[in-house]
């Protein structure tokens, strides 16, 4: 079996991507592989071969952006309830590293400290991604957080219909 990380979109479509929280209208809500900011999630496209938001027809772009907003609201609700030091959500579509459309949903916390709270997450030390602390690598210790995010996505999704 191929490593699901090599084709995250295809793996999600085949139900082989273990980071998937929920299928949304234009993509998949997934938990980030590294959780040094607890609650970090990513929205990935459900359209193979799409690299940029502008690769999608306008109606599909709006669906993707609505999914990004929904995921952001879910992460905000869960993280604010879990940690009184929660500050805000940062939403980013960059595409600098992974060549498929995806949007980062970063919860931000006061405990990040003055060198980080006002700066983009990308300016955190690179070791947090490349050589993360074991407790920040996505795994069973994050099951409760995962369940809360899924429940919040379900609650928000059902509220829209």
pLDDT tens sequence across 66-92: 999 999 999 999 999 999 999 999 999
Reply yes or no on whether the pLDDT at 1 is more than 70. no
Reply yes or no on whether the pLDDT at 37 is more than 60. yes
pLDDT at 152 (0 to 100): 97
pLDDT at 5 (0 to 100): 74
Distance separating alpha carbons of residues 84 and 79, to the nearest angstrom: 8
Mean pLDDT of 31-57: 94
pLDDT at 141 (0 to 100): 94
pLDDT in tens, 106-152: 999 999 998 888 888 988 888 888 888 888 999 999 999 999 999 99
- Supply the mean pLDDT for the chain: 92
Q: What class, spelled out in words, does domain 4-160 have in CATH?
A: alpha beta
Share of the chain above pLDDT 70, in %: 97
Sign of CA dihedral 105, 110, 115, 117: positive
Mean pLDDT of 23-49: 95
pLDDT at 160 (0 to 100): 61
Distance separating alpha carbons of residues 91 and 80, to the nearest angstrom: 16
Distance separating alpha carbons of residues 81 and 93, to the nearest angstrom: 26
pLDDT at 2 (0 to 100): 62
Residue 58 φ/ψ region, left for φ over 0, alpha for ψ in the -120 to 50 degree band, beta for the rest: alpha
């Amino acid at each position: 079996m191929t490593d699901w990380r090599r084709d995250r979109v295809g793996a999600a479509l085949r139900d082989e991507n273990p980071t998937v929280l929920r299928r949304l209208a234009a993509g998949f809500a997934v938990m980030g592989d590294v959780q040094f900011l607890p609650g970090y999630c990513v929205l990935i496209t459900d359209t193979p071969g799409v690299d940029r938001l502008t690769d999608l027809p306008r109606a599909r772009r709006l669906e993707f952006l609505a999914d990004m907003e929904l995921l952001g609201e879910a992460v905000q609700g869960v993280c604010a309830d879990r940690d009184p030091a929660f500050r805000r959500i940062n939403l980013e579509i960059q595409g600098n590293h992974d060549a498929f459309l995806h949007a980062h949903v970063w919860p931000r916390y006061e405990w990040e400290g003055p060198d980080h709270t006002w700066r983009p997450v990308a300016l955190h030390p690179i070791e947090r991604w490349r050589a993360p602390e074991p407790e920040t690598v996505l795994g069973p210790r994050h099951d409760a957080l995962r369940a809360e995010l899924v429940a919040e996505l379900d609650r928000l999704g059902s509220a829209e219909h």
